[in-house]
Amino acid sequence: MALLAVEGLRTVFETEDGVVQAVDGVSFEVEEGRTLGIVGESGCGKSVSAMSVMRLVPEPPGRIEAGAVNWKGRDLLALDADEMPQIRGAEIAMIFQDPMTSLNPVFTIRKQMGEVLEKRYGLEGQEADARMVEMLEHVGIADAPERLSQYPHELSGGMKQRVMIAMALMCRPDLLIADEPTTALDVTVQLQILHLMKELQREYNTAIILITHDMGVVAETCDDVVVMYAGKVVESCDIFRLFEQTRHPYTRGLLDSILQPGKSKGEAVPTIEGVVPSLLDPPSGCRFADRCAQARDRCRLHDPPLAELTEGHKVACHFPLEISP
Amino acid sequence: MSARASTPGTGAPGSGTPADPEPIIEVRGLRKYYPVRGGVFGRQRGQVRAVEEVSLDLHRGETLGLVGESGCGKSTLGRTLMRLEEPTAGDVLYEGRDLAHASSRELFALRRNVQMIFQDPYSSLNPRITVGETVREPLDVHRLGTEEERRQRVDELLVAVGLSPEAKNRYPHEFSGGQRQRVGVARSLALDPKVIVADEPVSALDVSVQGQVLNLMVRFQRELGLTYLFISHDLSVVEYISDRVAIMYLGRLVEVGSTEQIFQRPSHPYTRALMEAVPVADPRRRRQTTPIRGETPSAVNPPEGCAFHPRCPFASEACHQSVPVLRPAGGDEGHRAACLRLDEMPATR
């Protein structure tokens, strides 16, 4: 059984111009101890999906309209607001692209980490300090005792992300949701952080949802993948089938537009022409139809459902690509 | 000169010449330091050594990729080279004429030939003026052509970058990121420049759209014989578009060579670390490499000796003391690296 199962999630945002259908009928599952990548380009709804799972969508203007988030036999969307904090942080933790989303600039690292330890475990003083130092060293921070008295701005970008990971893992969550955790980091530091996340996953058997726009990061770290486009899931399967048995034309386009090593400007880069449709008034048919080379009338009229083509491989397309032998 | 200079895609096929080793821009011993102020009286407490002793040639018709991680000084180098920043020391020659010390009048004339494309198409376009006015502004500033000629030139440029002439009456917020960057490209071409400094021009764009802008830039280079300084942190983009590549670390160039030399036979330990850190979009090729330790140190107090030594797996005692200079690497023409232990480095791959 899946650790987390999201079913038919629908999240909208009220704006001056109308209602934005940011996430429209999204379903996916995360297995224990595995890493699920949610990939897609800006505005596809990948972050809003994660925020919805955590019940962190600001309401208003946001609103979760439909769906269920099954977690250990409970529907997180049906919980009372005061029950959620017991799950958030303790059972499901989240880290963000910008560590300053979660770190308070006016408090020392000791104060921020200590708050969690005191609340959850009643740890204070030297005992708490020892635990914090242990966690910081575990995520590869040198001079951990000195770091405790520092403020976030005194740490480098990679170091802040390490502190975030240490805090996220302090309560041994079963699931870590990481929203573009390495996007703001240098490539050499990105590799350090990705390695760290995988190491800790092996150690604690934590499941990870990794939200990213970077297919390279997905290929390096994920076991399973969900590809999103304009608020919907268009394809989901394991990492190997995504790259080797691609069925959705959007996924294909995305993979083709990656600049592979050795390619030079002698050959043009394949691109996906056109732009993402407005989610204020999304097309009634397939949302990718306007940019899809093989779209037919049916695609413009009827929205294709996410269907399981082969076991564990779901695709939302009326005319899925054939698998090349 | 009329405002109706060459427009890509509409004129005769361009020169299409490969990179000519004749330098169009020569950078000599360039330095750019910024004061660090602090305290109640704002006294200078130190300086950020953003660019330190950089010498570099930009060959006519080539794309030189300038690569490095955040804070390495690559953007400052680009801006100082255009004299959007005053250099602390050193020279920048454009076709032999000194740009770094030119008077404001000379600079105004020289600037026509050297234009810039910026990273963020969301903030680099003025939201209060139409796209047409944005593209037209350089023509107005330089008073090129008649009113009618300027109007026509704007239409041509918009069409050349794949937008409709009607786009000129619309405002930046009505466009997607990729379309806005097309506007940025159109504007950079308005004066028919010879050199374009492009600072992370596709970094803010989604991958499916990145290619559209890269394809445009490649086409214009072929048709107009443009020279690009392409500044980016993204190695795959740089490998694709560049003829030559310069790698920067903490204000200094650490390796320079042809794209093939840099990507196939990287010599400097930092270049190697960078290459190894790039995620590969192939789940069957997951790397087991250990990432290099640490992060780029501050440019206010750069390490003594080779700035990379605290992170370098090959650093010896000497690397803590002397600053390495660029010298021939790998036995190939034009390939140079700044590493004391170059000759002891194991062969790549």
User: Residue A195 falls within a domain, yes or no?
Assistant: yes
**CA pair distance A164, A95, nearest whole angstrom:** 6
Q: Determine the structural domain holding residue A214 and report its residue range.
A: 1-91+173-250
CATH number at residue A205: 3.40.50.300
Cβ distance of B69 and A187 shorter than 8 Å? yes
> Of A250, A268, A288, which closes a domain?
A250
Residues 6+ positions from B17 with CB-CB distance below 8 Å: B61, B225
Shared-domain flag, residues A7 and A146: no
The structure tokens listed for B62 are: 């080539």
Question: Are residues A18 and A149 both part of a single domain?
Answer: no
Q: Is residue A301 part of a domain?
A: no
Q: What token pair was written down for B302?
A: 């750069």
pLDDT along chain B (349 residues), means of 10: 50 44 92 84 82 95 94 92 91 90 88 88 82 93 92 93 90 87 93 94 88 93 96 95 97 96 95 92 84 82 92 94 93 92 79
Cα A311 to Cα A321: distance, rounded to the nearest angstrom: 16
Domains detected in chain B = 23-113+224-344 (3.40.50.300)
Are A1 and A86 contained in the same domain? yes
Find the CB nearest B283 among A189, A190, A239.
A239
Task: Tell me, yes or no, whether A315 lies in a domain.
Answer: no
Q: Which of residues 207-236 of A touch B (CB under 8 A)?
A: 213-220
Asked if the Cβ–Cβ distance from A265 to B240 is below 8 Å, we say: yes
CA of A55: how far to CAs of A9, A94, B118, in Å?
A: 12, 12, 37
Model pLDDT, residue B8: 57
The partner residue sitting opposite B280, judged by closest CB among A190, A220, A255, is: A220
SS3 state of residue A198: helix
Q: What is the predicted ipTM?
A: 0.87
- Judged by a CB distance cut-off of 8 A, whether residue A269 touches chain B is yes
Element (H, E) at B38: strand B23-38
- Structure tokens of B295? 């992060």
Residues A83, A230 share a domain: yes
Rounded to whole angstroms, the Cα distance separating B275 from B287 reads: 12
* CA separation for the pair A239, A243 (Å, rounded): 7
Given A172, A201, A233, which residue is the final one in a domain?
A: A172
Q: What are phi and psi of B120, to 5 degrees?
A: -95, 100
Are A163 and A20 within one domain?
Answer: no
Q: How many CB atoms lie within 10 A of CB B110?
A: 18
Those of residues 107-136 in A touching chain B at CB distance below 8 A are none
Q: Is the Cβ pair A255, B177 closer than 8 Å?
A: no
Residues of B with Cβ-Cβ distance to A279 under 8 angstroms? none
* Number of neighbouring beta carbons within 10 Å of residue B282: 16
> What is the value of pTM for the model shown?
0.89
B208/A254 CB distance under 8 A = yes
Alpha-helix runs per DSSP H in chain B: 74-81, 104-111, 131-141, 147-160, 177-189, 207-224, 235-241, 259-264, 269-277
In the 8-state DSSP scheme, what is residue B278?
S
Residue A267 in any domain: the answer is: no
- Residues A220, A79, single domain; the answer is yes
> Closest approach of chain B CAs to the CA of A82, in angstroms?
38
- Ranges of H-type helices in chain A: 46-53, 84-87, 109-121, 125-138, 144-147, 157-169, 187-204, 215-221, 239-244, 249-256, 297-301
Could you say which of A186, A253, A258 has the minimum Cβ distance to residue B296? A186
Mutate to test the interface with B, among A271, A272, A273, A280 (most CBs of B within 10 A): A271
Do A61 and A155 fall into the same domain?
no
User: In the structure encoding, which two tokens stand for residue A205, read together?
Assistant: 């058997």
How many residue pairs bridge chain A and chain B with CB atoms within 8 Å of each other?
A: 127
Does A112 lie in the same domain as A9?
no
Domain count of chain A? 2
Assigned domain for A273 exists = no
Domain-embedded: residue A207: yes
A191–B69 CB contact, under 8 Å = no
Q: Are residues A149 and A194 in the same domain?
A: no
Which residue of A157, A254, A262 is in closest CB contact with B207? A254
Note whether B280 contacts A216, CB cutoff 8 Å: yes
Asked if A60 is an interface residue toward chain B (Cβ–Cβ < 8 A), one would say no
Terminal-residue alpha carbon distance, chain A: 32
| Together in a domain, A114 and A191 | no
Q: How far is B148 from chain A (nearest CA, A)?
A: 31
Q: Do A157 and B176 touch (CB under 8 A)?
A: no
Choosing from A156, A172, A188, the residue where a domain stops is A172
Q: What is the dihedral of CA A251, A277, B232, A265, to 10 degrees?
A: 60
Same domain for A155 and A228, yes or no, is no
| Low-confidence spans in chain A with pLDDT less than 50 | none
The amino acid at A246: T
Residue in chain A lying closest to B62 (CA): A265
Considering the domain architecture, whether residues A149 and A11 belong to the same structural domain is answered as no
